[in-house]
Structure 1
Amino acid sequence: MQRRHDLDALRVLAILSLIAYHCGMLYVADWGWHIKSSYLQEWLQWPMLAMNRWRMALLFLISGLAIGLYQPERGPGRFALLRTWRLFLPLLFGMLVIVPVQAYCQGVVNGTVSPGYGAFLLRYWELRPWPEGGFDGAEHGVTWNHLWYLAYLWVYSLLLVAILPLLRSRPGQRLQAALGGLRGWRLVLVPALPLVLYMNVLMPRFESTNALLDDWFQHAQFFTVFVYGYLLARVPGFWAELARLRRPLAMAAVAMLLVYVPVLKLDVVFPEWALVAMRCLRGLIVWTVLLAVLAWARHALDRPFRWLPYASEAVYPWYVIHQSATVLLAYWLVPLELGAWREATLVVLGTLAACALGHEIVRRVGVLRPLFGLKRRKPASVRPQAEPLAVVGGRE
């Protein structure tokens, strides 16, 4: 099967947007994060709210599409083992080696951890609970912070293997045909209905935690779009319809966000019927934006850009490294009071430089490659190749 350059390019853009979002979390006013700058900006809430409602759903949708192209039904056992190797191993390594610097910086800033990273790391590796309020996940003794996505994707991949017989059954085939056969407004509305249901039934009852075991609203939303991706990946009619609808999809997505975000920012107490309407709109926004993004990526990015193999390989290491770099830079720079623009520039450029340097080291050292989600390759060969089963999904 011909390689889908649009999905590879979309993975690259997704990781860059994730880095931008997490750098923004340092500066957005009234939103908690591991470390906060003294130069908080309320206006950042507007673009970040517009992105926040669909950004993670996009990652799970791309992962489902990538798995659908891989066709795990040809060897479900091998697929499960590959996913465990490519997802769980980097998750475990990241939790023990990469993420602890975030916990240390947050704990020192909060005054619950004594300065001295070596002593902190030895204590962290004991996997014992920390004092309350030390850092995110302190009550468990260990944290995965931004790497929660790897845990969720690994679980969803194994769940997909478990339900493959159902999806490949006659009812499952009919479901796939019905989903892939949706056209026009039905392609927007029908798949959005479960998301609207989750927004109204699960979201008010289950706070988003990124903690896996108690995150039922996010599981319902993310696993649904993940399965959508798997079912739609190899349906030519679906992609043809996206190409036809790319302009109205983009206009509808922008129009809904222009209504949703300002209303969300109103300082009023909404009656219940208005809250229900906003939740319905949010569910519709998620699916419409996802369709618009896929449509325009297919239209504009499905070509073999010269930079794409290298950038696609870099996605996984950049994902693992980026937030730890951002938090560490903030830990060093915020006390210096350099000014908002100088500090933000150093944080962003420093994060990008750390990711780039980390990737260059990882790709050249054979023992490090699987720890950052890359396939093994002979040390003598450092020619970049698109990494298939990377953080936002890909093909083996």
Structure 2
Amino acid sequence: MLLIIYHVSLMYNSRAFLLKAPDRSGIFDLIHLWTHPWRMSLLFLISGVVTGILLTRQPPGALRRIRTRQLVTPFLFGVLFLIPPQMYVWLNGALGVHISLFDVFWHYVTLTPVRLPDGEQALLLGVQHLWYLAYLWFYTVILTFAVSAWPQFLPSLGRRLGTWLAGKRILVVPAVLFVLMKLLLRPNFPPTLDILNDWYSHAVYLTSFLLGVVMATRDEYWDALVATRKPALILALTCATGLSLLFLILPADEPEKWRTLFGRVLGGTFQWSAVVAVLGYAKICWTSENAIIAYLNRAVLTYYVIHQTVMLLIAYGLHQAGLLSVSSFIPISVATLAVCALSYELKRRLEMFWRIRNSALAV
């Protein structure tokens, strides 16, 4: 849900995006500052937890095959059918290129550049929001091969981290690590979302993923998260406030190097403290099976794969009608969520139909 809100907000904040509304607001920059530092780290950590649990139930090779089917199939589907409509919106809505959706598909599939109004040419390549699926598959492959080659890899890693993550250290040590990565790696290896050349992102997300894998079956880590949830929440809110003051309220002529330095320290601290707060409070709030969460767990991949394309097509329709403005933020978010929900229900019913049909044929 937060990802949909975040991506819709990109059309209204000061950051570059595929389609921008004619009017902007600093409120949408707050959405970026308050969610972006920790949201993907949390997602990779949760993915690591799931992977760690699955490794206790099946051998690494079997898990690798299952995850390949679960992740690569929707990734390829999205790259082939969901990215071209986003390129269509970008070319027509942001760059002023008058090109049909069919022609965008043709240029995309044949790797033929599109001529822009300024005379430059653009090659339609990219995976947009689907990069997460590729990264998660890549990390899963690395982990499963490591566990196959060294069966004691995870128990050994868990024992080594036990001292570093015991008690309140589970809040402090990873936060320091994320701050150091922002200070030392990010300036030299800025995020690119190119899986072969994205060293800072790999350092952050692979660390989050491995933390989740190690934490998956060790109760002492979860007890430590619960015990530190309150200071983590206070620290996260303090960092969020500091980031807001630093980038949205202070005058623009403040020394840029100091603003960047403090921003990275606050961002790295916020990145982990928010994760600890979310997990700590979730651990005590949801202690039994929840039907809504169980349903959304099954639906989340569908929502993830299609939401950005749906969002951009809805926004582009409003843009063409002259209705894309700050007031359309909530309608676009709600409509995107509704289309995702309907798409999942259609997918679920089609799968049920094919299972019943195959069972009938087998009989």
TM-score range, shorter chain: 0.7 to 0.9
After superposition, where does 1:163-312 map in structure 2 within 5 Å?
A: 163-164=146-147, 168-169=151-152, 173-181=155-163, 182-265=165-248, 266=250, 267-270=252-255, 275-312=260-297
The amino acid of 1:179's aligned partner reads: L
Question: How much has 1:277 moved relative to structure 2?
Answer: 4.5
Do the aligned partners of 1:364 and 1:379 also contact (CA within 8 Å) in 2? no
Counterparts in 2 of 1:110 and 1:339: CA distance versus 1, 3 Å:
closer
User: Which amino acid letter does the alignment assign opposite residue 292 of structure 2?
Assistant: W
Offset, 1:123: 3.0
- Structure 2 residue aligned with 1:38: 22
1:53 matched to which residue of 2? 37
Point out the more displaced range, 294-303 or 316-325.
294-303
Query: CA deviation digits over 1:257-279, x for unaligned, max 9?
Result: 22233123332443756644542
* Amino acid corresponding to residue 303 of structure 1 in structure 2: S
Could you report, residue by residue, the CA deviation over 1:174-219 in whole angstroms, capped at 9, with x for unpaired residues? 4312424533331112223332221111100122121212211111
- Please say if 1:318 is aligned against 2:331: no
Counterpart residue number, 1:147 = 130
Rate the CA distance shift 1:82–1:108 in 2: closer, same or farther, 3 A: same
Gaps of 5+ in 1: 1-15, 370-375, 382-396
Report if the CA contact (8 A) 2:21-2:326 is conserved.
no
CA positional deviation for 1:121 = 1.7
Query: 1:130–1:180: structure 2 CA closer, same or farther, 3 Å change rule?
Result: farther
1:133, 1:168 → 2: CA distance? 57
User: Are 2:335 and 1:335 equivalent residues in the alignment?
Assistant: no
Unaligned runs of 5+ in 2: 359-363
CA contact (8 A) 1:65 1:229 kept: yes
Q: For residues 290 and 152 of structure 2, what CA distance do their matches in structure 1 show?
A: 39
Q: Residues 233 and 270 of structure 1: is their aligned pair in 2 closer, same or farther, counting only changes over 3 Å?
A: farther
For these two proteins, the number of residue pairs brought into alignment is 353
CA contact (8 A) 1:179 1:232 kept: no
Q: Tell me, what secondary structure is at the counterpart of 1:118?
A: helix
Q: Is the 8 A contact 2:97 2:116 kept in 1?
A: no
1:352 aligns with 2:329: no
Quote the sequence identity (%).
31
**Distance (whole Å) between structure 1 residues aligned to residue 244 and residue 25 of structure 2:** 17
Q: 1:128 Cα shift? A: 3.6
Higher relative contact order (CA 8 A, sep 6+): 1
- Secondary structure, in 3 states, of the residue corresponding to 1:223? helix
Structure 1 residue 112: deviation in Å? 6.2
